[in-house]
Structure 1
């Protein structure tokens, strides 16, 4: 099993075809085909389903690609750490919260590309619980999480406390704080479990003795926004995701008496590479800007 074979398999899985993988790897197509076939023969299983429209991983292929990607990431990190160079390089996998992705991703990529062109970023978006699992398994190396404290497996750096907001259709709320009883007086588009926001909201309502009229559960922020804007019902989202939209009149609403802590986390058992340190610093900078400035409205229906 060779590194070039691992890179070929991962590239084919990412692009969906040998032709596109060959372009990505700066190889001729037959070379990529040979590397994939050689690895399949060594493993004794087919890693891809071939069709006229391209190649997609089999169940065995999905499992192997995940492990191969981690192995290549570790090799890239090791190379960057031991090779003498004035330029910071290597790959860094970053886990981003859905509510913060739009606010920080573009700036993060732009700053890293400009100042550290040797760093390759891989951005993955998910719920806080999923991101923590990916962090502990090595799928991502640093991640933004909610309400997590330092433990034997995860080292965290608190970034800021954020309010949850009740988000209403335009004109439904005059502005200012929203009590949980005010929220309960309206149908609510609920974030679906296992979203950390749902867990936090359920806990706050239970302590206050309030029961929400959840009319539908959804698992993406953009769907919550669209349903609220269309008048289907109210919803609950982090302040950073909706303050500018409320100010622009896309929604009405205001802060609930519920807060949560945003932290920057990494594996406690892994020494951060120079590239990870750089990306962590730039990510923290981007989050601070998103949390403490007033960005223009970001939502478009």
Structure 2
């Protein structure tokens, strides 16, 4: 039982005729007929209903084709994996939740347009989890908050420096030192279980500011601030609506979230990686 025989069997099932199947697998009609005859002799079973025109598979032939399809797809994936700098097959990309409504649509639109033969799986998670999954080979790439500690198995490309801003309800007069706003209103914090939340907590430690409410969604934090529930610190996210259009906002000097694209150091899809980086930066 050879992969070429199974591919022809699938082509007959999908096209409904020997002639169309021959075109699909780039063989002559006579070559396909001979191939199927030898396949039937090797199996000792009929694959085609004799005397039927156009060709129809027997129940056994249909069952064999059904089971062969995923195996052939896996063989194709293995062949793609072995091809340096491949732009087909499948990749998986992780996005931190703060980029799902902003960066994800931009990147996905551009990638699907340029690489139609590339299948892309999307997943979401916190930066630490995404970094670990890329390092372990469970994700191909990930857009995440750049880690402060060295990640020996990862290659990191900076995508953007998103300024960290103090935000307060609309109409709030922010002082020259925006951090004072956080001592005058309830502080709505971003989860310290995230790398971004850890960065913000370290920034505020010297000011003894702790959150009254802590959330793991930047969108939820911004919504609560816009509704007047308190103040917070969030990044001006790449591709997002400017914060000052919906609430009071003041950037903090020299404070930013570094958004990065992570890949394994042994990744060899240079064309795909460069395209991802360029599309993300093209703003």
Q: Under a length normalisation based on structure 2, what TM-score does the superposition of the two structures give?
A: 0.65
User: What does residue 161 of structure 1 align with?
Assistant: 161
User: What does residue 48 of structure 1 align with?
Assistant: none
- The 5-angstrom pairing of residues 180-259 of structure 1 reads 180-206=179-205, 209-240=206-237, 244-248=241-245, 250-257=246-253, 258-259=255-256
Greater alpha carbon shift after TM alignment, 145-154 vs 232-241: 145-154
Deviation at 1:264, TM superposition (A): 1.7
Contact 1:155 1:267 in 2 (8 A): yes
Say how many residue pairs are matched.
216
User: What does residue 265 of structure 1 align with?
Assistant: 262
Deviating 4+ runs (over 4 angstroms) = 73-77, 81-85
CA RMSD, 1 decimal? 3.4
Separation in 1 of the partners of 2:226 and 2:238? 14
* Structure number, greater radius of gyration: 2
User: What does residue 141 of structure 1 align with?
Assistant: 140
User: What does residue 99 of structure 2 align with?
Assistant: 100
Separation in 2 of the partners of 1:84 and 1:200? 38
- The 5-angstrom pairing of residues 27-176 of structure 1 reads 78-82=78-82, 88-148=87-147, 151-173=151-173
Q: Could you say what secondary structure the match of 1:194 adopts?
A: coil
Deviation at 1:204, TM superposition (A): 1.4
Superposed CA offset, 1:77-118 (max 9, x none) = 532144699x83111111112222322211222222222111
Question: Cα distance 1:243–1:94, how it changes in 2: closer, same or farther (>3 A)?
Answer: closer
Q: Under a length normalisation based on structure 1, what TM-score does the superposition of the two structures give?
A: 0.61
Which residues of structure 1 form unaligned runs of 5+?
A: 1-29, 36-72, 294-301
